[in-house]
Amino acid sequence: MRQFAGTDVSGLTRFAKQTHPLYAGIIGLIAIELTVVAMLVVSYSYLMLTAPEWPPAGLAPAPLLWPSVNLGLLLTSMVTMRWAGNRITAGDRRGLILGLLASVSLHALVLVFRALEMAAYEFRWDDHAYGSLMWTISGFHFTHVASAIVGTLVVAILAVKGYFTPERQLGVVVDTLYWNFVSAAWIPFYLALYWGPRLI
């Protein structure tokens, strides 16, 4: 059978960003994790709505202050991440490193506040279903923030070594994508855990 050239791809980019399959893959990962988030929120709501009292007798809904501060920090870190990405597009490596480190610090602060808050819970996970949910969901989110931090630290190390250029920045792009998911995932948890009991 005769073969002839139908398409020549030698000139196509090897450094795709949004069109790169990895970008789509991270979106897939996020879709999976969002389903997990949804399942956790649904489980929480299901038990909340079928319970006679929520939280159980003698407990007040968890205080709003620190979770709200965390919400602010997490959302701000999305902005600093975005800024870091813009810097490397402009070829500014120092700006990239700075932006990454700023975002990591914001998340680290969140970890500290969350740890203090959880240490102050007046209940344990094995006291009642409410306690189980508060601890489990908090633990889930805590672990995610921690992994976003270590992942981004690795990206920062690569940045220091000069791996990223305006062309080659897929690593930064996908890390930012996942970062945004981890930060924004706090919104549904925040609403369910802290506003849910106040609104029903």
Give the binding range for another protein (CB under 8 A) out of 65-73, 75-83, 147-155, 182-190. 147-155
Distance from C-alpha of 120 to C-alpha of 122, rounded to nearest angstrom: 6
Nearer to another protein, 43 or 89 (CB): 43
Extract the tokens encoding 14. Answer: 């090897």
Residue 57 in the binding site for another protein (CB under 8 A):
no
- 191 touches 37 (CB < 8 A): no
Nearer to another protein, 110 or 149 (CB): 149
**Interacting residue with another protein among 89, 143, 177, 192 (CB under 8 A):** 143
Residue 14 in the binding site for another protein (CB under 8 A):
yes
CA atoms within 13 A on the CB side of 34: 12
Nearer to another protein, 65 or 161 (CB): 161
Distance from C-alpha of 71 to C-alpha of 61, rounded to nearest angstrom: 18
Nearer to another protein, 39 or 187 (CB): 39
Binding-site size for another protein (CB under 8 A) equals 56
Q: Residue 194 gets which letter from DSSP?
A: I
Residue 50 in the binding site for another protein (CB under 8 A):
yes
Name the packing angle between helices 93-119 and 129-160 (round to 10°). 160
List Cβ neighbours of 91 (8 Å cut-off, separation of 6 or more).
165, 166
**Interacting residue with another protein among 66, 79, 82, 128 (CB under 8 A):** 128
Residue 112 in the binding site for another protein (CB under 8 A):
no
Rounded to an integer, what is the distance from CA 182 to the centroid of its chain? 1
Tell me which residue has tokens 């995932």: 185
Binding site for another protein (CB under 8 A): 1-16, 19-22, 24-25, 28-29, 31-33, 35-36, 39-40, 43, 46-47, 50-51, 56, 125-133, 135-136, 143, 146-147, 150, 154, 158, 163, 168
